[in-house]
Amino acid sequence: QLQLKLARHIHIKSFSLDTEQPDYDLDSEDEVFVNKLKKKLEVEALQFEEMIDRLEKGSGQQLVTLQEAKLLLKEDDDLIREVFEYWSRKRKLCKNGSLIPTIKQEKRDVSSTNDPYVAFRRRTEKMQTRKVSSSGQSHGRIDVVLFL
Summarised one tens digit per residue, pLDDT across range 16-62 is 555 678 888 888 999 999 999 988 888 899 999 999 999 988 887 78
pLDDT of 132 reads: 67
Residue-range domain boundaries for the chain: 24-93
Q: What own/partner pairs with CB < 8 Å and gap ≥ 24 does 20-23 have?
A: 22/46, 22/49, 22/50, 22/52, 22/53, 23/53, 23/56, 23/57, 23/100
pLDDT of 34 reads: 92
pTM, rounded to two decimals: 0.60
The per-residue DSSP string of 6-28 comes to: HHHH---PPP-GGGPPPS----H
Q: Is the pLDDT of residue 86 over 90?
A: yes
Given a contact cutoff of 8 angstroms between Cβ atoms, the answer to whether 66 and 84 are in contact is yes
What end-to-end distance do the CA atoms of the chain give, in Å? 62
